[in-house]
Amino acid sequence: MTEYAALVVEDSPMMRQLIVFALSRLKMIKVTEAEDGVDGLRKLAGGKFDIVLTDVNMPIMDGLKLVRRIRTDPVHKDVPVIIITTEGAAEDRKRALELGANAYVTKPIQAPQVVACVKELLKIP
Amino acid sequence: MPKDPGDSLSFPRETLVSVFKRGAELTDELLRENERLRTKLAAHEAENANLRTQLASNRAIDDLLKRIDSLESERKQLLAQVSKVEEDTSSFGERQAELEDELSKLANLYIASFQLHATLLPDRVIRHLKELLGQLIGSRTHAYYLIDARTNTLVPVASEGVSNRLTPIRLESQGLSTTEAAIERAFMTGVPFVGEAKPSEAADAPNLAACIPLRVDERLVGVCVVFTLLQQKERFSEVDHELFKMLGAHAGTALVSSMFYRQADGVIPPLEILAKETQSSNETARAEGASKEAQ
């Protein structure tokens, strides 16, 4: 069975735990956690990831800046990025997708919703 | 007088010639008839062979038709089985989706209470309480009030997204706004209010979506108020109601415990306190047991 590596960037421990739980339902994903954008970049530099799930509003470096940095990273520039955020406005969604995010999920989230999104982006049947 | 043998021979010779000719003609005729019969026989044999082939072919067709019938029946059985399996698969799929939903709800509740009780530091408890409302329920603006027994006032101790500074709500006082009155009522009655996700725009309607009394055991210690929800949040879900119940039962405990912990400067009290409690609890249980036995 293929094993994927996912990076979860989220400053809220509660949300992080919830996203990790959602990913655990796929049974084939190894999850690395980061507390903000800078921590996320550090973790990206230290490994190879198949997917990134990130919040937007975070201290130090927000999720949108992180997406921009990922898209210029030679190793991870093609990695699918899922934005998970409280910002539900259409213009926020548009902006994130224009910056290179592949999917935009608004909070509050339910695990099956995250699972479906990850499966679609990683083409897991 | 005997006949001249030459004369007697000339007659039979003609006769014989005639007979031979006739014989030759008959032979020819016989040969032709024979040939005709052979041809006819060959034709009959060919026809017979054709008929045999046709008969064999008809049998083969019969066999094939029987096989087709059998295969058709087998196909129908297989289709019925496939349909049954598809039905079962769909039913299993639906059941699995339902279970995943349930699991997700339980995970939300587990994670919320896990994080809430993972610390006794007041600022972290407050952070978790805010995250619970903001991230798990989808509240945009909310606040937590605790009762100040000395002044009989609900005092806001934490809030998120509220633009105006929240003022304390003095219980049973005059001049409370509709929203403050709704908060007071929830606290005084201990009955939670969970309304529509989008608060009513009527002038006399309280400007809040939910108000949950907070308890420590049976004692009311405060309220949690959700004023508005995130744009994308259309209605409260089943899991929101469960989270509100969890908040009502645990948020007060978490806040009050964290206050005691801070007041004690993080010093954990002597274990004798627990030992005494356990002893007292055991004695009570024994006394109750003895009383039941006596009855």
- Give percent above pLDDT 70 in chain B: 93
Q: For B238-242, which contacts have Cβ atoms below 8 Å and span 24 or more sequence positions?
A: B238/B105, B239/A110, B239/B104, B239/B105, B239/B108, B239/B109, B240/B137, B240/B138, B240/B194, B241/B194, B242/B105, B242/B108, B242/B109
* Closest chain A C-alpha to B62 CA, distance in angstroms: 47
Q: Are B221 and B204 in contact (CB under 8 A)?
A: no
Q: What's the pLDDT band for B14 if we cut at 50, 70, 90?
A: confident
Q: What pLDDT is attached to residue A51? A: 97
- Taking one residue from A and the other from B, the number of pairs with CB-CB distance under 8 angstroms is 65
Residue B208 domain-assigned?
Answer: yes
Phi, psi at B126, each rounded to 5°: -65, -40
Q: How many domains is chain B partitioned into structurally?
A: 1
Check pLDDT > 80 for residue A89: yes
Residues 69-108 of chain A with CB under 8 A from chain B are 86, 88-89, 106-108
- Residues of B in CB contact (< 8 Å) with A are 97, 100-101, 103-105, 107-108, 111-112, 114-115, 128, 131-132, 134-138, 140, 230-233, 239
Check pLDDT > 90 for residue B199: no
Residue B289 domain-assigned?
Answer: no
Check pLDDT > 60 for residue B1: no
Question: How many helices (H) and strands (E) in chain B?
Answer: 5, 6
Average pLDDT of the residues in B157-171 = 89
d(CA B125, CA B122): 5
Check pLDDT > 70 for residue B49: yes
Check pLDDT > 80 for residue B8: no
Q: Are B240 and A115 in contact (CB under 8 A)?
A: no
CA distances from B218 to B15, B83, B214, B215, B264 (A): 153, 56, 9, 6, 24
Q: What pLDDT is attached to residue B69? A: 94
Q: Are A50 and A79 in contact (CB under 8 A)?
A: yes
Residue B49 domain-assigned?
Answer: no
A14, A22, A107 member nearest B112 (Cβ): A14
Q: How many domains is chain A partitioned into structurally?
A: 1
pLDDT, tens digit (0-9, with 9 covering 90-100), for A27-59: 899 999 999 999 999 999 999 999 999 999 999
d(CA B275, CA B277): 5
Check pLDDT > 60 for residue B275: yes
Tell me the CATH number at A64.
Answer: 3.40.50.2300
Cross-chain Cβ contact A86/B233 below 8 Å: no
Q: What pLDDT is attached to residue B71? A: 95
Q: What's the pLDDT band for B200 if we cut at 50, 70, 90?
A: low
* Residue B231 CB neighbour total at 10 angstroms: 15
Residue B41 domain-assigned?
Answer: no
A14, A21, A107 member nearest B138 (Cβ): A107
Least confident of B52-56, B165-169, B285-289: B285-289
Smallest CA-to-CA distance from B194 within B240, B232, B135, B154 is with B240
Residue B275 domain-assigned?
Answer: yes
Check pLDDT > 90 for residue B153: yes
Residue B5 domain-assigned?
Answer: no
Cross-chain Cβ contact B104/A17 below 8 Å: no
Cross-chain Cβ contact B114/A17 below 8 Å: yes
Residue B143 domain-assigned?
Answer: yes
Q: Complex ipTM, two decimals?
A: 0.90
B104, B112, B115 member nearest A111 (Cβ): B104
Q: What's the pLDDT band for B41 if we cut at 50, 70, 90?
A: very high
SS3 state at B194: strand
B100, B108, B233 member nearest A18 (Cβ): B108
Average pLDDT of the residues in B185-211 = 81
SS3 state at B165: coil
Cross-chain Cβ contact A110/B104 below 8 Å: yes
Q: What pLDDT is attached to residue B4? A: 55
Contacts of B103 in chain A (CB under 8 A): 25, 111
Q: What pLDDT is attached to residue B79? A: 96
d(CA B113, CA B108): 9
Is-cis flag, bond preceding A108, omega within 30?
A: yes
Cross-chain Cβ contact B131/A106 below 8 Å: no
Q: What pLDDT is attached to residue B271? A: 86
Q: Are A85 and A53 in contact (CB under 8 A)?
A: no
- Percentage helix, strand, coil for chain A under 3-state DSSP, each rounded to 5: 40, 20, 40
Q: What is the DSSP letter of B231?
A: T
Residue of B nearest to A11 (CA): B131
On average, the pLDDT of chain A sits at 94
- Give percent above pLDDT 90 in chain B: 64
Average pLDDT of the residues in B200-209 = 71
Residue B224 corresponds to which tokens in the numbers above? 């949690």
Q: Which amino acid is located at B180 in the chain?
A: E
Check pLDDT > 90 for residue B121: yes
Average pLDDT of the residues in B236-262 = 95
Rg, chain B, Cα only: 55
Contacts of B128 in chain A (CB under 8 A): 13-14
Residue B193 corresponds to which tokens in the numbers above? 């209010």
* Residue A8 CB neighbour total at 10 angstroms: 25
Cross-chain Cβ contact A86/B230 below 8 Å: yes
Answer whether A112 touches B (CB < 8 Å). Answer: yes
Residue B46 domain-assigned?
Answer: no
The string over B142-181, giving b where at least 16 C-beta atoms fall within 10 Å of a residue's C-beta and e elsewhere, is bbbbbbeeeeebbbbbbbbeeeeebeebbbeeeebeebbe
Q: What pLDDT is attached to residue A22? A: 95
Domain that holds residue B163: 107-280
Q: What pLDDT is attached to residue A30? A: 95
Cross-chain Cβ contact A112/B230 below 8 Å: no
Average pLDDT of the residues in B54-73 = 92
CA distances from B126 to B61, B129, B227 (A): 85, 5, 17
Most A CBs within 10 A among B94, B115, B135, hence the mutation to make, goes to: B135
Tell me the CATH number at B242.
Answer: 3.30.450.40
Answer whether A30 touches B (CB < 8 Å). Answer: no
A12, A22, A111 member nearest B131 (Cβ): A12
Domain that holds residue A8: 4-122
